[in-house]
Amino acid sequence: MTDARTTDREVAPLRERLWAAAVDADEAGAVAVLRGAAQDGWPKETLLLDVVAAVQRRVGEEWAADRITVAAEHAATAVTAGAVAALAHDLPRPTGHRPRVTVACVDGEWHALPARLVAETLRCRGWRVDFLGAHVPTPHLVAHLHATAPEAVLLSASLPTRLPTAHAALTACQSTGVPVLVGGAAFGPDGREARAVRADGWAADARHAADLLEAGIEKPYATAARHQVDDLPHLADQEYTLITRTRAALVRQVLHDLWERSPALRSYTPEQQDRTAEDLQHIIEFLATALYFDDPDIFARFVGWTTGILTARGVPVESLHLGLTVLAGHLYDFPRARRFLNETAPALDPFATPLSVTGTGTPA
């Protein structure tokens, strides 16, 4: 069997067996599935990317559709991560001529499994890999580069809200003269955010990352230190900075107005109120990230995803529309933010009309 000849139909039985173990929180069973398949001749790269990664995507989809609980999603993810670790232990130590690379998640990014799959795929191809795991502070990452002098750094980010931090990490790594390859769902389906921050390469998945490394990555755009505004001149308008700095006050203001305008919200339990505050914080974080890149699609994708989550859980989408309307009122003096909020209206169909702006205030 080879990766080139493997079809979805061929791997489907393995996926189903691994899925059954994952939803049953059976890590030993999951390990047995992968090790047994490896002994039967399945390439480990196929098992990692066409079986494990596919099952993990299904875990996320089932949670989003409200067919499994948060606890079940966490348990299944732990099982797949444990199975990957067990499979990795069976890989031989690299003995070829491939150089050393570093794989890490950016500071604040806790979704480590996608990066782990990249790391193990590279090991399958003979690379010497330093896998630093989740949530790697940038100063520690740079110190590691100085100590090990890798051929390249591969940075992973799954949540778009981690992108400003990823940008800072990328420029810091490039200042050491090490090229940076980025990947993960955060960078968008086409890698446009990777190009915006001048990454040295963007990979859609682990195979793509390995292929790019094998083809060779040029040295960074510049080894001299540069500032974020050098890459993204629109940051000079300060909308991203001001909204980020006043996020907590903005959440409080919007919550206050929501309680005043919606009798249903006033009857919320303390736990429901806390969840509403968390949701508002996420909305503002994604709006700020969209402002950082001047890319309304970042916010629109988040609103569309949130709409699907609410619908699956039987929560009226009107509540999201009301929240965005109130938020728009508090961002009267922020034209880019207001425009992004209005451009989300199609994602809230049948409320596909511009959001009314009734306030004239700015974040406190």
Strand (E) or helix (H) holding 102 = strand 100-105
Contact assessment for residue 83 and residue 25, using Cβ atoms and an 8 Å cutoff: no
Indicate the Cα dihedral angle 160, 73, 316, 334, nearest 10°: -10
Q: Where is pLDDT greater, at 271 or 160?
A: 160
Residue 36 structure tokens: 């047994």
| Statement: residue 119 has pLDDT above 90 | yes
Mean pLDDT of the chain, nearest integer = 88
Residue 24 structure tokens: 């049953």
Over range 342-348, report the average pLDDT: 71
| The predicted structure's pLDDT at residue 351 | 45
3-class DSSP state of 173 = helix
Over range 93-103, report the average pLDDT: 81
Instruction: Tell me the pTM.
Output: 0.88
Q: How many CA atoms lie within 13 A of 31 on its CB side?
A: 14
Confidence of residue 284 (pLDDT cuts 50, 70, 90): very high
User: Worst-scoring range by mean pLDDT, 20-29, 153-162, 316-325?
Assistant: 316-325
Over range 216-227, report the average pLDDT: 69
Q: How many helices and strands (H and E) does the chain possess?
A: 18, 5
| The predicted structure's pLDDT at residue 345 | 65
Residue 187: φ, ψ to 5°: -80, 5
User: Worst-scoring range by mean pLDDT, 94-98, 194-198, 356-360?
Assistant: 356-360
Confidence of residue 241 (pLDDT cuts 50, 70, 90): very high
Task: DSSP letter for 47, please.
Answer: I
Give the pairing of strands 152-156 and 201-203.
unpaired
User: Worst-scoring range by mean pLDDT, 13-22, 46-55, 146-155, 273-282?
Assistant: 273-282
Q: Where is pLDDT greater, at 298 or 268?
A: 298
